[in-house]
């Protein structure tokens, strides 16, 4: 096992966790407004997947994308300032939590209509293929997307035209507050993909190494064959759908059971067992990312609001 | 490659020439849509383009408007300049989320990190006896949305010049053609012919009232103006050509000359483009108006099938003539 790699993944997941905890506090203080969708508990999916892609591969994600953004950009300041709606936010206070973008890092959103970004990801891959470029597009979405028309059209076109996109379903078992068994007629979302046909695998999304390995394989294969691939990552979100959701549709016992499989905790345990990191070293990583998050919060709080005279900028040219 | 001399072309030939010339010039342009390739276009606008450019650049799509509109948007995000053909704009409503929520918002929502050079085009409005789901004029639906440009050409020459400008534009453009106009012939200027978006044109100068319209309604309005000329009512016809951005100066300048405004719009009246033009004149040139501005639009109903009912719903020469008479104080 590569110690530096594991420590890096541990750090990234911890950064996402501490970042979102700070965002939740700021939300409760009224400093962050709008919708705030946390992925606490699901960090291994984004971190494992994005660590397996080349930095030039495109990332297209949803409104629950803080972890994806941080995993690709490491830009806690830009993300936190965006949540605060500040001029220094990664999109200048135009998008907020649901619309993080960084063109320079090929982080292509931040989309907030369920499923609407799936054909867009196929289009990005279409352009890569058209220009004969090696890049693969990673498209993330939740299990709730699996019944949306745009999802099916995106998969159908990606399969028909053999577009280099890796679809990654983050199956946290709830489409907002409705359990999957009440919204999906199949047990696994992967079954849907196979009908197109797109090769699909199911992976433990709470195991960052398994996630990374599955995506590494998928990206390599897709880069070579130019054909899409589908991964369904089984995971669990510890918090509600958004900050306004107390998640009363789940029992305490269910949540507690899943929290035993906390992806950060599990990786820490593994690193201890393998003799890669002591509890003290892991605590030091935590302290380091806490400082990064504190800095991001201070940066966001001290940043100016967007200038009023810019409100009509960037509508069109 | 274009002929240096002006020629008479059909509307569909002029549109094709615009696409072909631009695709010859710029390898990042692709054409996507239902039947655009092997079938040579549902209305033959793209006839011969598959043969010329190959299936890499002229891409037949399944019947999946959400999917292929979204693919166009994604490809445009990373630098292609897609032309997405809707077999009719009625089908664009299936992709309304893609156009309104994604294409129109991207530049603003990303603080200018992304631009989106994409053209959505195809026929809009009523043809003949296609009833409620295939006869919709959609300019009001799209012009309502900041971040979109909306272009409606009325002649083959304008069709070519405006489509070339739309393809070169770095914003999403909704380009609304007309099934009933594809065979219409008209002179197309020779050489490089590009008409800037957002510039209206006086199609017929006149003193007594300003008739603002666009697209195929121009041709009906010209007939109405001839009939009115016989009654010594001199109508100025202003062709907007681009609905958004609106050439406000051209509207106001004409209204300030004639002091009367009639807007003719295919499509429903409620919250429509015609209402916007009337609002512009009344808020910016109120003191110049000698009569309350008037609108002629579709009746406020879904399109019926029966020919007599369809004709009653659409703006027509008699309705325009009557409205013009009333505006200048003549009662028939």
A315 interaction partners in chain B (CB closer than 8 Å): 107-108, 146-147
pLDDT of residue B75: 98
Judged by a CB distance cut-off of 8 A, whether residue A121 touches chain B is yes
Average pLDDT over residues A274-297: 97
Query: What length does chain A have?
Result: 317
DSSP codes of every residue in A153-203: HHHHHHHHTT--EEEEEEE-SEETTEEGGGT-SSS-HHHHHHTTT-EEEEE
pLDDT surpasses 90 at B154: yes
Task: Lowest mean pLDDT of A52-61, A154-163, A208-217, A238-247, name the range.
Answer: A238-247
| Cβ B203 vs Cβ B111: under 8 Å | no
Q: Which of B27, B33, B62, B70 to mutate to test the interface with A (most CBs of A within 10 A)?
A: B70
Count other C-beta atoms under 10 Å from residue A105's C-beta.
17
Work out the percent of chain B whose per-residue pLDDT is above 70. Answer: 99
Percent residues over pLDDT 90 in chain B: 98
Q: How near does any CA of chain A get to the CA of B299, in Å?
A: 33
**Which ranges of chain A does DSSP label H, i.e. alpha helix?**
3-28, 43-52, 66-73, 76-83, 117-130, 149-160, 189-194, 208-225, 252-259, 263-273, 279-302
Q: Which residues of chain A are within 8 Å of residue B109 when distances are taken between CB atoms? A: 91, 94-95, 99, 101, 110
User: Side by side, which strands form the sheet with A165-171?
Assistant: A107-110, A58-61, A137-142, A165-171, A229-234, A199-204
Candidates B65, B179, B266, B310; catalytic one? B65
Contact B78 A58 (CB under 8 A): yes
Question: Measuring CA to CA, which residue among A74, A9, A101 is closest to residue A47?
Answer: A9
Which of A90-94, A151-155, A250-254, B211-215 bottoms out in mean pLDDT, i.e. has the lowest? A250-254
Chain B residues with beta carbon closer than 8 angstroms to that of A317: 107, 115, 169-171
CA distance A152 to A157: 9
B2, pLDDT greater than 80: no
The mean per-residue pLDDT over the stretch A110-136 comes to 98
Q: Which residue of A has its CA nearest to B146?
A: A315
pLDDT of residue B84: 98
Report residue A28's pLDDT band, with 50, 70 and 90 as the boundaries: very high
Task: Give the pLDDT confidence score for residue B331 in this predicted structure.
Answer: 73
Tens digits of residue pLDDT in A195-249: 999 999 999 999 999 999 999 999 999 999 999 999 999 999 999 999 899 999 9
Omega before B2 within 30 of 0, i.e. cis: no
Q: What is the mean pLDDT of chain A?
A: 96
**pLDDT confidence tier of residue A130, bands split at 50, 70 and 90:** very high
Task: Judge whether residue B332 has pLDDT over 60.
Answer: no
Percent of chain A with pLDDT over 90: 97
Q: A interface mutation test: which of B111, B118, B170, B174 has the most A CBs within 10 A? A: B111
Which residue on chain B is closest to A97 by alpha carbon? B109
Cα–Cα distance measured from residue B267 to residue B251, given in angstroms and rounded to the nearest whole number: 20
Residue A294 has pLDDT above 80, yes or no: yes
Six-digit token string for B181 = 């106009």
Please provide the distance, in angstroms rounded to a whole number, between the alpha carbons at the two ends of chain A: 51
CA distance B275 to chain A (A): 23
Q: Residue A314: its chain B contacts at CB < 8 A?
A: 107-108, 110-112
Average pLDDT (A243-263) is 93
A315 and B147 within 8 Å at the Cβ level: the answer is: yes
Kindly report the nearest CA distance between residue A62 and chain B, in angstroms: 13
Touching B: A residues 133-152, CB under 8 Å: 149-150
User: Do residue A119 and residue B75 have CB atoms under 8 angstroms apart?
Assistant: no
Residue A57 pLDDT greater than 70, yes or no: yes
pTM (global) more than 0.90: yes
- Does B65 participate in catalysis according to the annotation? yes
- Residues of chain A positioned with their CB less than 8 A from the CB of B68: 119, 153, 157
ipTM value, please give it: 0.97
Average pLDDT, chain B: 97
- pLDDT for residue A317: 86
- Residue B95 confidence class, pLDDT cut points 50, 70, 90: very high
Contact between residue B324 and residue B274 where contact means Cβ atoms under 8 Å apart: no
Q: Looking at residues B13-39, what average pLDDT do you find?
A: 98
């Amino acid at each position: 096992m590569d110690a530096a790699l594991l420590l890096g993944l541990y750090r990234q997941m911890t950064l996402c966790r501490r970042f979102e905890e700070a965002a939740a506090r700021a939300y409760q203080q009224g400093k962050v407004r709008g919708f705030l969708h946390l992925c606490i508990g699901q960090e291994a999916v984004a971190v494992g997947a994005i660590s397996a892609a080349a930095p030039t591969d495109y990332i297209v994600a949803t409104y629950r994308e803080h972890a994806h953004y941080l995993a690709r950009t490491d830009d806690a300041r830009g993300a936190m300032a965006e949540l605060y709606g500040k001029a220094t936010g990664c999109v200048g206070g135009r998008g907020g939590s649901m619309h993080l973008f960084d063109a320079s890092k090929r982080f292509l959103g931040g989309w907030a209509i369920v499923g609407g970004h799936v054909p867009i990801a196929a289009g990005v891959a279409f352009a890569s293929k058209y220009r004969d470029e090696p890049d693969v597009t990673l498209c993330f979405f939740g299990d709730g997307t699996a019944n949306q028309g745009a999802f099916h059209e995106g998969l159908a076109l990606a399969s028909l035209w053999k577009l280099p996109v890796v679809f990654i379903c983050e199956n946290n078992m709830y489409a907002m507050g409705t359990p999957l068994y009440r919204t999906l007629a199949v047990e696994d979302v992967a079954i849907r993909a196979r009908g197109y046909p797109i090769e699909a695998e199911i992976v433990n999304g709470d195991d960052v190494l398994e996630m990374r390995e599955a995506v590494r394989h998928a990206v390599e294969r897709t880069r070579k064959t130019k054909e899409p691939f589908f991964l369904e990552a089984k995971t669990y979100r510890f918090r509600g759908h958004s900050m306004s959701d107390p998640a009363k549709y789940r029992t305490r016992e269910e949540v507690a059971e899943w929290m035993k499989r906390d992806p950060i905790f599990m990786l820490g345990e593994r690193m201890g067992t393998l003799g890669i990191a002591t509890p003290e070293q892991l605590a030091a990583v935590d302290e380091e990312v806490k400082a990064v998050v504190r800095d991001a919060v201070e940066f966001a709080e001290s940043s100016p609001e967007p200038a009023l005279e810019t409100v009509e900028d960037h509508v069109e040219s | 490659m274009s002929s240096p001399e002006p020629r008479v072309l059909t509307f569909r030939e002029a549109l094709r020439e615009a696409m072909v010339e631009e695709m010859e010039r710029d390898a990042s342009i692709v054409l996507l849509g239902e039947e655009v390739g092997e079938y040579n276009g549902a209305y033959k606008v793209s006839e011969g383009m598959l043969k010329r450019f190959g299936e890499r650049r002229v891409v037949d799509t399944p019947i999946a408007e959400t999917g292929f509109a979204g693919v166009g948007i994604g490809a445009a995000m990373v630098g292609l300049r897609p032309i997405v053909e809707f077999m009719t704009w009625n089908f664009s409503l299936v992709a309304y989320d893609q156009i309104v929520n994604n294409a129109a918002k991207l530049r603003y929502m990303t603080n200018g990190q992304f631009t989106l050079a994409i053209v959505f085009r195809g026929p809009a409005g009523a043809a003949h006896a296609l009833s409620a789901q295939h006869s919709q004029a959609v300019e009001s639906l799209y012009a309502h949305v900041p971040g979109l440009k909306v272009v409606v050409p009325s002649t083959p020459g304008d069709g070519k010049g405006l489509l070339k400008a739309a393809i070169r534009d770095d914003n999403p453009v909704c380009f609304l053609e007309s099934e009933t106009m594809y065979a219409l012939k008209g002179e197309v200027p020779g050489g490089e012919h590009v008409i800037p978006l957002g510039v209206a044109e006086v199609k017929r100068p006149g003193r007594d009232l300003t008739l603002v319209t666009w697209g195929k309604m121009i041709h009906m309005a010209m007939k109405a103006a001839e009939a009115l000329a016989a009654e010594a009512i001199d109508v100025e016809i202003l062709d907007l050509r681009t609905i958004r951005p609106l050439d406000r100066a051209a509207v106001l300048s004409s209204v300030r000359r004639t002091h009367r405004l009639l807007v003719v719009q295919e499509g429903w009246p409620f919250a429509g483009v015609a209402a916007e033009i009337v609002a512009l004149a009344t808020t910016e040139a109120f003191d110049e108006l000698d009569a309350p501005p008037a609108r002629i639009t579709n009746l406020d109903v879904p399109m019926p099938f029966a020919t007599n009912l369809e004709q009653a719903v659409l703006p027509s020469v008699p309705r325009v003539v009557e409205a013009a008479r009333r505006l200048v104080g003549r009662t028939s």
